[in-house]
Amino acid sequence: MSDLLDVLGEIVGAQHVLTDGDLKAQYETDWTRRFHGSSLAVVRPGDTGEVSSVIRACAEAGVPLTVQGGNTGLVGGATPAGGDVLLSLGRLTEMAEVDLLEGQVTAGAGVTLERLQQHARPHGLDVGVDLAARSAATVGGLVATNAGGLRVVRYGSMRDQLTGIEAVLADGSVVTRLAGLAKDNTGYDLTQLLAGSEGTLAVITKVRLRLVPLLPTRAVALVAVSGVPAAIELLATARAGLASLSAAELFLADGLDLVRAHGKLNAPFAEAYPAYVTLECSARTDPTDELLEVLGESEAVLDATVASDATGVARLWAYRETHTEAISAAGVPVKLDVSVPLRELAGLVDDLPGTVAGAAPGARVLIFGHLGEGNLHVNVLEAGDRSEAVSEAVLELVASRHGSISSEHGVGRAKAHYLGLSRSDAEIAAMRRIKQAMDPAGTLNPGVLLA
Ligand code: MLT
Ligand code: ZN
């Protein structure tokens, strides 16, 4: 192995091959602290050519690679399995000028979402995807996992922003489609194939994204409702009545209690309610009036507070956005990211506490998520050694309600064994054939997505 490490040092520079346990530690544990693994080395290439040479060297040595961006994933998909080389793409931080003619931008895989937003916004443009981990999550990882986030209700997921890609295949060859053509029917769409492939088919080194207009005015409403059926009723009203709707999020009473205690936040209302919806509108001209009008018309609204100044908007968003960090501060959660058709959502929320209690008596369940997509983040604390039993019970429940076992976080290592709950045997067989064709030696992210 020391031969391989020497070769890798020659490719990327010895200072970018980390073998010291303390230096590797931050790469070898995921954000949740639930997934750990040890790698032979963390290798940090500085450009596409170096990525290609690293992949070739590892393939020749028969050593697998785990690919990592900002290490903000929640399903163990970027955590080494053990004995592999961890390929960290954090140095691929090149950004091209914003292409104002096309309304697109090309960025290195290691550019954080926040940097890309800061790059686009002075030009009156913005990235269509936004999420709480924006300061650390990188665009390569966001595309590889087809991340969703807070604005999917308006702009779709990461794959919907994608117009091109540069990637290194398992044999070290480089595919480049960065012209950003709006129309291009020349056969298989490799760009879209790699979106959501979780590093199992190729290593994404650059992405080209379509940008959306930067909408300078925002209005946010935090709405108290009687439960999930009322939240869904409000969503339908907001979708129909608000052309400016840019987010529709859900959380429940116990989640609000937790984030308030964690962040020392004031109560948003004089009374407590069973469920809360965060609605955001973004537009060129102040959308507050149309938001207020829709809230006034909806019988689902028990109480509401609205803000359109930056401080007020941030204050209202904090009740939803700090769920992840508040839960993580309370313990290491089992995180399950699922979606069901909206007609199944209320039933799922009703069933979840009992299902979790059956698998892990005494565990604590916190549910929040992206109402617009029927996407719930089911977080289970204090599951002890019953984590797998909880995962299995919840994912089976979701499958029984025609849902997806991974809505936006990906499958990773955490859910690879459960893929059959959401995909048919024929689909999984087809996926395996694609994997076999593109990575016959199984060098890229083995054990991720396909167990
Ligand atoms: C979110 O919606 O806040 C993220 O997906 C993170 C999480 O699920 O914890
Ligand atoms: Zn989410």
Name the token pair of 60. 């020749």
- Ligand 1 atom nearest the C-alpha of 249 is 2
Percent pLDDT > 90 in the chain is 99
- In whole numbers, what is the pLDDT of the chain averaged over residues? 97
Residue 115, burial from CB neighbour count under 10 angstroms (0-12, 13-18, 19+): middle
Q: Is 215 helix (H, G, I), strand (E, B) or coil?
A: coil
Q: With CA atoms as reference, report the closest residue to 81 among 32, 30, 14.
A: 30
Q: Return d(Cα 407, Cα 337) in angstroms, integer.
A: 6
Backbone torsions φ then ψ of 239, nearest 5 degrees: -60, -45
Per-residue pLDDT, 204: 98
Among 179, 213, 247, which residue terminates a domain?
213
DSSP codes of every residue in 304-372: EEEE-SHHHHHHHHHHHHTHHHHHHHH---EEEEEE--HHHHHHHHHHHHHHHHHHSTT-EEEEEEEGG
Asked if residue 108 and residue 166 are part of one domain, the reply reads yes
Residue 149 Cα to ligand 2 middle (Å): 5
CB atoms within 10 A of CB 182: 9
> Which of 335, 339, 377, 379 has most ligand 1 atoms within 8 Å of CB, for mutation?
377
Asked if residue 420 and residue 366 are part of one domain, the reply reads: yes
Is 448 inside any structural domain? no
Taking only the tens place, the pLDDT of each residue in 181-203 is: 999 999 999 999 999 999 999 99
β pairing state of 375-381 and 364-370: antiparallel
- Per residue in 284-330, pLDDT (tens digit) is 999 999 999 999 999 999 999 999 999 999 999 999 999 999 999 99
Is 288 part of a structural domain of the chain? yes
Task: Report the SS3 class of residue 376.
Answer: strand
| 344 and 316 within one domain | no
For a mutational test of ligand 1's pocket, the pick from 131, 146, 153, 278, i.e. the residue with the most ligand atoms closer than 8 A to its C-beta, is 131
For ligand 2, the distance from its centroid to the CA atom of residue 1, given in whole angstroms, is 39
Is residue 78 a contact partner of residue 68, using CB atoms and an 8 Å limit?
yes
pLDDT at 2: 78
In a domain, 295, yes or no: yes
Query: Which atom number of ligand 1 is nearest to the Cα of residue 150?
Result: 2
What pLDDT is recorded for position 273?
Answer: 98
| Substitution site in 30, 324, 328 for ligand 1 pocket (most atoms within 8 Å of beta carbon) | 324
Does one domain contain both 153 and 188? yes
User: Distance, CA 370 to ligand 2 centroid (Å)?
Assistant: 6
CA of 137 to the centre of ligand 2 (A): 13
Element of type H or E holding 280: strand 275-283
Contact 207, 109 (CB under 8 A): yes
Measure the CA angle with vertex 201, ends 177 and 35; round to 5°. Answer: 125
Q: Count structural domains, the chain.
A: 4
Do the domain assignments include residue 27?
Answer: yes
Predicted TM-score of the model (pTM): 0.97
16 CB within 6 A, ligand 1: no
The amino acid sitting at 94 is E
Please check whether residues 355 and 306 belong to one and the same domain: no
Classify residue 10: in a domain, yes or no: yes
Give Dmax (Cα) for the chain: 70
Domain of 37: which CATH number?
A: 3.30.43.10
Query: For the segment 142-174, what is each residue's pLDDT rounded down to a tens digit?
Result: 999 999 999 999 999 999 999 999 999 999 999
Q: How far apart are the C-alpha atoms of 193 and 201, rounded to whole Å?
A: 9
**3-state SS assignment for residue 230:** helix
On whether residue 246 sits in a domain, the answer given is yes
Question: Which structural domain, as residue segments, surrounds residue 113?
Answer: 104-213
pLDDT (0 to 100) of residue 186: 96
My answer on whether 338 and 402 are in the same domain is yes
User: In this predicted structure, what is the pLDDT of residue 1?
Assistant: 72
Strand spans (E) along 69-198: 84-88, 104-108, 125-127, 162-169, 174-177
Residue 83 tokens read as 């004995």
DSSP-assigned beta bridge partners for residue 87: 43, 67
Asked if residues 321 and 265 have their Cβ atoms less than 8 Å apart, the reply is no
pLDDT for 189: 97
Whether 63 is in a domain gets the answer: yes
Last residue of a domain, one of 153, 179, 213: 213
- 443: in domain: no
CA atoms within 13 A on the CB side of 215: 21
Q: What is the pLDDT of residues 35-74, one digit of tens each?
A: 999 999 999 999 999 999 999 999 999 999 999 999 999 9
